[in-house]
Structure 1
């Protein structure tokens, strides 16, 4: 397992919401723990398992624990000027789609007026497509997520001006 595989595993675990994942292969033992607090810290321990080798070989150096904090997503930061708007957040983890199908128009666009119960997007989770409906009426001010991108639980998706 090379460094790129380990980094991809760390990113996957951080996005999945799991609190701890352990992976053990013939030569590597990996433990990834994500913080339960709002800091979003992920701690990874990589340990190389010693292989019985002839005495003539040089000893294998132990790797130090790697601390990896995920990069903050720009779409998740809401500025003070946006504080007067209502933020519609993702109720589940999955892949967000802004259209019902590739050949159909977008559900909503910036500047469009929506009412309570209007479908804003679809989030696919485990091969199930869940329609995300608006709980407020207003005007779409900002769309914070691109089409066909992964979203996390409670991630801001849309800013709505209720006035």
Structure 2
């Protein structure tokens, strides 16, 4: 059996969905193990996020569309100087670095450019979201451990 045959066997096993294949010949033994269960678990997780997002999108879009003008109008009228910090990615919003730690920022916290405001988990990677402005947190717009969309407002900051 040459290298090309072994490569073809590996491709065949990967496509077949088998988790383990053992091949014993007179002069050699080959065991091919695939991460079938782990890949399926990740695929299920990845599919779960998009499936929950489209199902959840019609209702949240309908609610914020109705609620957004009500909330945006007073904010625009009363505090037009506020800066909105938005999510740069899709994922799960966390206010704390871990469950037993305090939140990165609270309402009333003074922040500087480069301070970590929160983390967003995307595909099991935790991305720190840093402040791009200096100011004071006026409002946290997202609940802890909630899914967020790209460009979704997370915080309102008073730059003065």
Offset of 1:84 from its aligned partner?
Answer: 1.3
Higher gyration radius (CA): 2
Offset of 1:98 from its aligned partner?
Answer: 0.1
Q: TM-score, normalised by structure 2?
A: 0.58
Higher strand share: 1
> Is the partner of 2:54 in helix, strand or coil?
helix
Q: Does 1:102 align with 2:99?
A: yes
Offset of 1:69 from its aligned partner?
Answer: 8.7
Offset of 1:13 from its aligned partner?
Answer: 2.3
Rate the CA distance shift 1:97–1:115 in 2: closer, same or farther, 3 A.
same
Q: Does 1:71 align with 2:62?
A: yes
Determine the structure 1 residue equivalent to 2:6.
none
Which ranges of structure 1 fall in alignment gaps of 5 or more residues? 1-8, 17-41, 43-67
Q: What is the aligned residue count? A: 105
Determine the structure 2 residue equivalent to 1:145.
142
Offset of 1:72 from its aligned partner?
Answer: 3.1
Check the 8 A contact 1:11/1:70 in 2, yes or no: no
Offset of 1:82 from its aligned partner?
Answer: 3.6
Counterpart CA distance in 1 for 2:98 and 2:114 is 20
Offset of 1:15 from its aligned partner?
Answer: 6.2
Determine the structure 2 residue equivalent to 1:59.
none
Q: TM-score, normalised by structure 1?
A: 0.57
Which ranges of structure 2 fall in alignment gaps of 5 or more residues? 1-49
Aligned CA RMSD, in angstroms, stands at 2.6
Higher helix share: 2
Q: Identify which of 113, 117, 142 aligns with 2:114.
A: 117
The runs of at least 4 aligned residues of structure 1 exceeding 4 Å deviation read 74-77
